[in-house]
Structure 1
Amino acid sequence: MLDGASKSRINAKDEKGQTALYIAVERDLTKAAIELLNAGVQTTVADNTNDHPLHIACYSGNLQLAKELLANNADIEAKGEYGETPLGLACRRGHADVVELLLNHDASTQVFNCSQRTPLFAAALHGHVGAVKHILEKDLSSLDKVESTNTWTALHVAIYKGHEEIVSMLLKAGSRLDMRAKDGSTPLMTAIQNQHEGIVKMLLVRRSENEDLQLETPSDNKATPLGTACVRGFAAGARLLIDAGADCTARILDRPVPIFALACGYRHREIALDMITRSKARIDGNCQANNGRNALNMATARGHTKIVELLLDHREAIGLSQDTISRALFQAIDAGCESVVKLMLGPKGRVSVNYKTYWDRTPLHNACNPLGCITSDSNIWGPDDLNEEERSNPEFQPRRHEAILSLLLERGADVDAISEHQGTVLHSATASGNVATIDLILKRMRHVDALLKNHNGQTVLFIAFEPGRENAMRALLSSARLETADFGSDQRQRDALSWAAVSPVRHDIAKLIMVKMHKSMEKPRPVESDVWSAIEWATFMKLPQVLWVLIASSPRSKETTEMLERAMILAARSQSQSDLPTQQDARPDHETASVDEKVGNGRANDARDTNAGEDDDQQALMDMLQDPPTGLLYTGTADEPKLKEGLKEILAICSKALSVKARHF
């Protein structure tokens, strides 16, 4: 029993703002709480978080204390810490008997917590069937109220959580199917997104003859329920939607993309097959997205072998044209999936190995310079449907570009094919920078085709003279099939020789260029020239500017010294030959004069100017070889050259000087 002193302090609070009644209820001290109530304690005193004793009783499910508190004028609509009423707390915790008690005392179902969640929403969220049942029996006014986070209704959240019994109850109570969440999702879309097959079945049963099931209502990303099922691989849900009449021919998303193409692109074979065989409308396999891609394009580009096979098996049913199939071969080649390429070239695909696009581009053009590969085992794709033998077979793996190139050549691909835009197959191979590909094509090409230009007037060497294609240039210049160093223009040739000469690691390229240049002059080539270095070739060709840069970029080594000595011998031999009197030099003056009169004074003067220029070049060569600028630009070795500090500007000047047209160049 409470004495007089205790009664005077019966409503006192501790540091948390809790009264004796609050503590008794919190600790389930029922007898103590009843004694306090009988002593006249206040039931509406809140603690520091704004919770009342009734909140605590309802949260813990203490039915007896809840009754006692209500009998003593507790505030049934008081809002606690998060704006929840006692009814909201009881619903959240699933205490159905307490919920029933509160409803019998006319607790409001229209109250909202801080997230605008009603008691019904709280019960549906946490799967408390009994609490939902009592609210629906008492009041349906909160059935379609939305909370503030996702703007979900109770039906949305029950579907999201997969609470089938509650979904059934809400549907029978009349929950609307057209309510849309913040992302535009209807209840049906939410069921598809979360792959709840049983709930999808419920939502597809019409409650009235003309009820709109929202089959085609898109979310904010413009995806329909069927489109979402295709992307997520929800095969069971997709089949239910198809059987319910969902449009399998629709184009969705921002692009937009045919739904059927999505199923194929995301490698969901079962869904694609259901669309073909169960759709009420005929699937058009040629239907394209805004980017020009159709179902077959998407499957081949991603290396989805079994999807491609499915489409080819049903080519008649979906109206797949031979042109569509043939063009898709190019995506298969880019993807590097050999198994898909074989399908396309085989009896199912029936694609010609020399099929040409509008610009005469052939599969071999693509194989020589593929665009790249999308990894076919990406986590976003569906199952590959391969058996164990297929999965271990390299043909079914990505990045099989070399094998595909060999396959096309084995099947008779025309290496002499010319594309209107890309030129020869060798142009494509050169653009790839792949030496193995270049060698493979060069061995099979005619000499004349190796020298052709594309529609921009570019030769293969012009294309090779780009960053990252150094080895491609080596391969081309080393081939006997390429008879000249044709870079498309004299200026481009000078630029290439300049680029090669300024770095010791590219001196071999400089030599190859000069060898081809000499060959184009149709002059006899000295037998010993096969073993000449770039320095010796520049001396022989009388190119003092090139020679200076070659020497300046060579390391100070025994090998360089030997090259210079051999070059000096070449220069001396050339000078001695030029000093010998020519047939014209040996004639008497009066004979020479008569010759001049016959050919004209102009030609004689030109000849003297040319000879003078050659003499100048010859003297420059001799001077340079006698006092060589070895190592002026680089230190280190020929394999690991290091540009000397402060010489970048000099190197730039040298490059510019080399690009200026010189005699015999």
Structure 2
Amino acid sequence: MQAAANGHDKVVEVLLDAGVDITKTSSTDFTALMYASIKDNLDVVRLLLERGAEVNEATHLRSMPLILAAERGFTEIVRLLLENEAEINYTSSRGATALGYAAERGHIEVVCLLLERGAGVDTADNGGTTPLMSSVSSGHVETVRRLLEKGASIDQADNDGYTALNYAALNEHIECVRLLVENGADMNHLTPDGSMPLAASCSLANVDIARLLIESGAAVEVLEETRVSPLVAAAGNGLLDLVRLLLEKGADVSRTFCGGLTVLSAAVQEGHTEIVELLIEHGAAIDATLDDGSTAVMMAALFGQPEAIHILLNHGANVDLADASGKTPLMLAVQCRHVEVVKLLLSAGAAVDAKTYDGETVLRLAGYAGNVECARLLLDSGADVNLTGKNNCSALQSAIFNGHIEVARLFTS
């Protein structure tokens, strides 16, 4: 076996003449033919085959010489094995054929040879992955081209419901995307987990692929059950030009998605102010609520986005609209210690003595949070320090219970 692996054909010949068992396997279950195949030792492979080595012998993992050689791109070894009746569509333990392995690694010569000899172009592995999907995922454009020329099923889905185009978009291989689109791939295929190629590209902030798909006619609006909207993804990633293009192509700025998420909320929470302005110009509802009652202003308060707050307030956002628990934007800002946001909300007239539905007050939340500046701003704006809330507890008690001594001193001064 060592002689076979090292390409010493004369030594192999002497050993065989001396009666060495050609079928003997190593501790890894490899035969001499397998070792010669993975080392690209053509003369040794030829000699072993002439002496009767079993061409379709496989390991316990179902690796056999043809698969081992194809995986490594050894064209002449593959050719010789095929000439000696290697089983071309034999599958490994993962269910992949020699073509699947060669396609995954972009060995174009081996791929062409296997296809010419009749390899199953759409034979899928245990996960439903076809050679085309494997090649696309790795970005091997010429291999993809050859598989398509040989009739590979372009829209076949794997066990997870993903097609070749889904994988091309997810792996950001733009030339593969282009080739698949040119060959008629379904650009709007929806996976079971709610992803489409365009939405995936927007989520990955890949503007070039997203633009290619849009300009090729991909739907900018999505089916009701989808979880990812191209517009939401683009807005959340701050892709201003892409958001503009999607809007020009008819994307609905008012649609809501998982949890009631709006496009405006997605842009606001990330602080993409130019996109916030653009969405409002296109009719985004400023006080639209998520499933939990949150508004865009609340999201801006929660994530500490003062510039977004300023824009929303200038366009008439309701500063005191409460969520499903009764929390207002001011409460959220105080709780998260976003001082600049607190200043903005107070200057816009936010109610300083508002209570949640279970009796929590703004000042008590300041006591919990322990931010002296937030507490001072509330007091300067007229917050009632003696107002009690949940469990008849005051703001002072809240500060003391949570060990915020400076805030407690402020409340007693």
Q: TM-score, normalised by structure 1?
A: 0.51
Q: Name the counterpart of 1:58.
A: 70
What aligned pairs does 1:424-443 form with structure 2 within 5 A after superposition? 426-428=386-388, 431-434=393-396
Read off the aligned partner of 1:402 and give its amino acid letter. A
Q: Name the counterpart of 1:128.
A: 140
Q: How far apart, in 2, do the equivalents of 1:229 and 1:38 lie?
A: 62
Q: Name the counterpart of 2:250.
A: 245
Q: Name the counterpart of 1:275.
A: 279
1:140 shift after superposition: 3.1
1:265 shift after superposition: 3.3
Q: How far apart, in 2, do the equivalents of 1:205 and 1:372 lie?
A: 54
8 Å CA contact 1:326, 1:355 repeated in 2 = no
8 Å CA contact 2:178, 2:212 repeated in 1 = yes
**CA gap 1:100/1:173 in 2 versus in 1, 3 angstroms:** same
Read off the aligned partner of 1:93 and give its amino acid letter. R
1:434 shift after superposition: 1.0
8 Å CA contact 1:300, 1:331 repeated in 2 = yes
Read off the aligned partner of 1:426 and give its amino acid letter. N
Render the CA deviation track for 1:243-293: whole Å, top value 9, x for unaligned.
332111112223x2433133223433233123124x3xx222232334433
1:152 to 162, 183, 194: 162
1:205 to 198, 204, 215: 215
**CA gap 1:356/1:47 in 2 versus in 1, 3 angstroms:** closer
8 Å CA contact 1:309, 1:343 repeated in 2 = yes
Render the CA deviation track for 1:532-585: whole Å, top value 9, x for unaligned.
xxxxxxxxxxxxxxxxxxxxxxxxxxxxxxxxxxxxxxxxxxxxxxxxxxxxxx
Q: Name the counterpart of 1:48.
A: 60
Q: How far apart, in 2, do the equivalents of 1:229 and 1:152 lie?
A: 22
Q: How far apart, in 1, do the equivalents of 2:204 and 2:224 lie?
A: 16
8 Å CA contact 1:217, 1:225 repeated in 2 = no
Q: How far apart, in 1, do the equivalents of 2:136 and 2:351 lie?
A: 63
Q: How far apart, in 1, do the equivalents of 2:90 and 2:157 lie?
A: 21
What aligned pairs does 1:490-529 form with structure 2 within 5 A after superposition? none
8 Å CA contact 1:184, 1:219 repeated in 2 = yes
Q: Name the counterpart of 2:188.
A: 178
8 Å CA contact 2:320, 2:329 repeated in 1 = no
Read off the aligned partner of 1:273 and give its amino acid letter. E
Read off the aligned partner of 2:113 and give its amino acid letter. L
Q: How far apart, in 2, do the equivalents of 1:77 and 1:302 lie?
A: 55
1:30 to 2:42 alignment: yes
Read off the aligned partner of 1:183 and give its amino acid letter. D
Q: Name the counterpart of 1:216.
A: 222
1:167 to 2:165 alignment: no
8 Å CA contact 2:301, 2:333 repeated in 1 = yes
Q: Name the counterpart of 2:103.
A: 91
Read off the aligned partner of 2:319 and give its amino acid letter. I
**CA gap 1:428/1:223 in 2 versus in 1, 3 angstroms:** farther
Q: How far apart, in 2, do the equivalents of 1:373 and 1:228 lie?
A: 35
**CA gap 1:13/1:402 in 2 versus in 1, 3 angstroms:** same
8 Å CA contact 1:303, 1:332 repeated in 2 = no
Q: Name the counterpart of 2:365.
A: 370
Q: How far apart, in 1, do the equivalents of 2:369 and 2:248 lie?
A: 33
Q: Identity across aligned pairs (percent)?
A: 25
1:78 shift after superposition: 1.1
Unaligned 5+ segments in structure 1 are: 376-397, 416-424, 439-466, 480-665
8 Å CA contact 2:190, 2:196 repeated in 1 = yes
Q: How far apart, in 2, do the equivalents of 1:155 and 1:405 lie?
A: 54
Q: Name the counterpart of 2:378.
A: 405
Secondary structure in 1 matching 2:365: coil
1:325 to 2:319 alignment: yes
**CA gap 1:10/1:102 in 2 versus in 1, 3 angstroms:** farther
8 Å CA contact 2:386, 2:394 repeated in 1 = no
Read off the aligned partner of 2:63 and give its amino acid letter. D
1:93 shift after superposition: 1.6
Read off the aligned partner of 2:157 and give its amino acid letter. V
Alpha-carbon RMSD across the aligned residues, in angstroms, is 3.8
Bigger drift between 112-121 and 289-298 goes to 289-298
1:189 shift after superposition: 2.1
**CA gap 1:427/1:355 in 2 versus in 1, 3 angstroms:** closer
Q: How far apart, in 1, do the equivalents of 2:163 and 2:279 lie?
A: 32
Secondary structure in 1 matching 2:380: helix
**CA gap 1:13/1:243 in 2 versus in 1, 3 angstroms:** farther
Q: Name the counterpart of 2:121.
A: 109
Q: Name the counterpart of 1:445.
A: none
8 Å CA contact 2:367, 2:396 repeated in 1 = no
Secondary structure in 1 matching 2:319: helix
Read off the aligned partner of 1:262 and give its amino acid letter. A
Secondary structure in 2 matching 1:28: coil
Q: How far apart, in 1, do the equivalents of 2:62 and 2:396 lie?
A: 74
1:139 shift after superposition: 1.0
2:25 to 1, 4, 14: 14
1:106 shift after superposition: 1.8
Secondary structure in 2 matching 1:370: helix
Q: TM-score, normalised by structure 2?
A: 0.79
1:402 shift after superposition: 2.0
Read off the aligned partner of 2:98 and give its amino acid letter. P
8 Å CA contact 2:133, 2:163 repeated in 1 = yes
Bigger drift between 266-275 and 48-57 goes to 266-275
Q: Name the counterpart of 1:228.
A: 233
What aligned pairs does 1:388-467 form with structure 2 within 5 A after superposition? 400-409=373-382, 426-428=386-388, 431-434=393-396
Bigger drift between 366-375 and 73-82 goes to 366-375
Bigger drift between 297-306 and 185-194 goes to 297-306
Unaligned 5+ segments in structure 2 are: 1-9
8 Å CA contact 1:217, 1:224 repeated in 2 = no
8 Å CA contact 1:373, 1:399 repeated in 2 = no
1:38 shift after superposition: 4.0
Read off the aligned partner of 1:169 and give its amino acid letter. L
1:108 shift after superposition: 0.8
What aligned pairs does 1:289-308 form with structure 2 within 5 A after superposition? 289-308=290-309
Read off the aligned partner of 1:431 and give its amino acid letter. C
Q: Name the counterpart of 2:288.
A: 287
1:335 to 333, 357, 366: 333
8 Å CA contact 1:192, 1:225 repeated in 2 = yes
